[in-house]
Amino acid sequence: MSQLSQPRMHLAESELIQRVCDGDQDAFYELLRPYERAIFVAARTVLYNDADAEEAAQEAVLKAFTHIGSFRGESKFSTWLIQITINESRMKLRKQHRHLYESVDEPRSDEEGDYWPKDFADWREIPSEALDRKELRQTLGKAMDSLAPKYRQVLILRDVQNLSVAETAKLLGISESNVRTRLLRARLQMRDALAPGIDGSWSRGREYEKVRPW
């Protein structure tokens, strides 16, 4: 019965999109409902706090609404939507941090030199049982936030959202080899930030900070 009481849930996306184009705004809410969480996560992938992510998400939704006529069905609707969200979020990030990120947020062919691990602490096991879940999440979040945007974005899309290398490349508008190179650096930096062990012996003032809790 519950399914029958919500017959519009079963409308195909293409039909909903057509109805939005014909001026039915309710169809738009219905079209986006399954993707609301994904929209937030996409914005938060680029932006460093919830308030900014919400703002960008709202802009993205407005843009999707006004430009839905330009959706041609060449990619999945969800991909189109997430791409808009990521673009809006990156624009917001650039506006906020123009002086900081102008040079690092743009794809460059010669961008990646080798990254050398700074820490060789042994880390065979994940001491997850010993950690408070909330503390662990905060620690991981802080470690991610210590990465430059271009590394953080790739890391979250690929390693947190588990998108493929190809999907990550498409969403960010960069090559797959760029994704791989950035992913390598992001992962090594995350490891350096999180690896356990007796520290204090290596240099300070790097571009990321150590946040290890264990």
Partner 1 sequence: MIVEISCVEVWREISNYLEGDIGPELRARIEAHLKVCKHCTAVHDGTRNVVRLMGDGVAFEFEVPKNFSKRLYRKLPTRPHEP
- From residue 72 to residue 111, the character string flagging contacts with partner 1 as x (rule: CB under 8 A) and all else as - is ----------------------------------------
Q: 157: closest CA among 24, 8, 43?
A: 43
- Which amino acid, residue 88? E
Report d(CA 136, CA 139) in Å as an integer.
5
Tracing tokens 């650096």 back to the chain, one arrives at 185
- From residue 9 to residue 48, the character string flagging contacts with partner 1 as x (rule: CB under 8 A) and all else as - is ----------------xx-xx--xx--xx-xxx--x----
Number of residues that bind partner 1 (CB under 8 A): 51
CB neighbour list of residue 67: distance below 8 Å, 6 or more residues apart: 84
In the DSSP assignment, the letter for residue 7 is G
Should residue 61 be labelled a site residue for partner 1 when binding is judged by CB under 8 A? yes
Instruction: Tell me the window of 8-16, 69-77, 91-99, 119-127 that interacts with partner 1 (CB under 8 A).
Output: 119-127
Should residue 175 be labelled a site residue for partner 1 when binding is judged by CB under 8 A? no
CB atoms within 10 A of CB 184: 15
Q: 161: closest CA among 86, 97, 65?
A: 86
Of 107 and 197, which CB lies nearer to partner 1 in the complex structure?
197
Q: 118: closest CA among 179, 180, 208?
A: 208
Q: Given the rule CB under 8 A, which residues bind partner 1?
A: 25-26, 28-29, 32-33, 36-37, 39-41, 44, 50, 54, 57-59, 61-62, 65, 114-117, 120-126, 128, 133, 136-137, 140-141, 155, 159-160, 162, 165, 180, 183-184, 187-188, 190-191, 194-195
